[in-house]
């Protein structure tokens, strides 16, 4: 049966990192996965809404989930932060008492929105690829095996710890590394792969944020990585877009390419680098493409 999802692109992939939305659509299209974009969806809040009001975060994201429920489809995101926030709201509302759920749905009704029912699953692209599509099926689609490419996964915070029941072990995940191996790449293990990239600190503790990012990148380089691969646009921003600023703070040259998960998989199944927007990255991806003979 063909896979079909209600696609929640999130903010970053529609703005600063449009190549991530581009590559997600390219890889799913190439794999025969159908995405119905939720064009009326709103920002998940990135965890900041609940600083003012838990009810605000729950209501905004209940609406996002309800949009997927209208289509009778799982909600798919390619952002770890969106997965963590929306997924946690979904878990909380599914176990909420009727009085609170009625309050949330009351706000949705005032805005002319469908009520939240708790019938759709919130799923990250990584879980869709690994659990729904399957590693063996992906391996069969590989036309350009990524042999010799050493990839350091950077899971980020929310994907592993944003929900009570994640798909992988929060302390020793293997899903990304298993996917790397399925497409011919070599996984690189290093301490920072399950830690915070520093993005949440960047607006008020910029130096500390950049030091955190710099530490992770240095560790990946020391472990022999050719690139970092992340399933999170916000991690992508801090590790790629701000890497020149990170270098200034730590006083070292890094120059390690950062790819989104969708870009890496798409390269293996024959999508061109141009179609994936790899030329839009701040840190050049030419070294990755050269290693792959592309």
Domain with 200 in it: what CATH number?
3.40.50.11810
The pLDDT-based confidence of 186 (bands split at 50, 70, 90) is: very high
Is the predicted pLDDT of residue 166 greater than 90, yes or no?
A: no
Residues 165 and 65 in one domain: no
* Average of per-residue pLDDT values in the chain: 93
On whether both 268 and 224 belong to a single domain, the answer is yes
**Strand partners for 4:** 34
Q: How large is the average pLDDT for residues 154-162? A: 85
Tell me the pLDDT band of 88, cut-offs 50, 70 and 90.
very high
Q: Rg of the chain's alpha carbons, rounded to an integer?
A: 19
Q: Averaged over 49-59, what is the pLDDT?
A: 87
- Band of residue 50 on the pLDDT scale cut at 50, 70, 90: confident
Yes or no: say if 80 and 155 are a contact pair by the CB < 8 Å rule.
yes
Average pLDDT for 5-16: 83
Asked whether residue 70 is domain-assigned, the answer is yes
* Count of domains for the chain: 2
Same domain, 255 and 196: yes
Q: Examine residue 38 and state whether it is found in any structural domain, yes or no.
A: yes
Residue whose pair of structure tokens reads 């120059």 in the numeric block: 255
Please check whether residues 106 and 150 belong to one and the same domain: no
Give the pTM.
0.94
Residue 129 lies in a domain: no
* pLDDT class of 227 with cuts at 50, 70, 90: very high
Considering the domain boundaries, does residue 80 fall inside one?
Answer: yes
* Residue 230 confidence (pLDDT): 96
Helix ranges (H only) for the chain are 18-31, 49-52, 54-70, 80-94, 98-110, 125-127, 135-141, 158-161, 175-182, 206-222, 233-236, 243-250, 261-268, 286-291
Question: Is residue 128 included in any domain, yes or no?
Answer: no
Range of the domain at 102: 4-123
Same domain, 141 and 10: no
Q: Picking from 115-124, 177-186, 191-200, which range would have the lowest pLDDT averaged per residue?
A: 191-200
Question: Quick one: 192 and 114 in the same domain?
Answer: no
- The CATH number of residue 49's host domain is 1.20.1050.140
pLDDT in tens, 188-198: 999 999 999 99
Looking at the chain, the whole-number percentage of residues with pLDDT higher than 90 is 81
């Amino acid at each position: 049966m063909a896979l079909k999802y209600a696609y929640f692109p999130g903010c970053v992939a529609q703005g600063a990192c449009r190549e991530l939305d581009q590559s997600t659509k390219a890889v799913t299209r190439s794999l025969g996965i159908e995405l119905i974009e939720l064009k009326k969806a709103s920002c998940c809040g990135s965890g900041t809404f609940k600083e003012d009001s838990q009810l605000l975060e729950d209501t905004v994201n209940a609406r996002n989930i309800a949009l997927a429920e209208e289509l009778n489809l799982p909600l798919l995101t390619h952002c770890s932060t969106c997965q963590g926030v929306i997924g946690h709201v979904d878990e909380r509302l599914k176990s909420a008492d009727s009085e609170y759920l009625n309050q949330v749905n009351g706000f949705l009704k005032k805005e002319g929105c469908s009520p939240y029912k708790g019938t759709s699953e919130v799923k990250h692209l990584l879980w869709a690829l690994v659990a729904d599509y399957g590693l063996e099926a992906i391996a069969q689609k590989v036309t350009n095996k990524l042999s010799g490419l050493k990839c350091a996964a950077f899971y980020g915070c929310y994907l592993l710890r944003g929900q009570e029941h994640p798909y992988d072990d929060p302390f020793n995940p293997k899903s990304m590394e298993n996917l790397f191996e399925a497409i011919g790449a070599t996984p690189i293990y290093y301490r920072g792969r399950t830690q915070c990239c520093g993005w949440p600190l960047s607006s008020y503790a910029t130096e500390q944020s950049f030091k955190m990012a710099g530490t992770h990148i240095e560790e990946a380089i020391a472990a022999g990585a050719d690139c970092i691969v992340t399933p999170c646009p916000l991690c992508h921003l801090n590790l790629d877009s701000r890497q020149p600023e990170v270098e200034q703070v730590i006083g070292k040259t890094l120059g390690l390419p950062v790819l989104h998960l969708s870009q890496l998989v798409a390269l293996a199944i024959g999508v061109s680098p141009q179609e994936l927007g790899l030329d839009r990255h701040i840190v050049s991806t030419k070294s990755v493409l050269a290693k792959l003979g592309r």
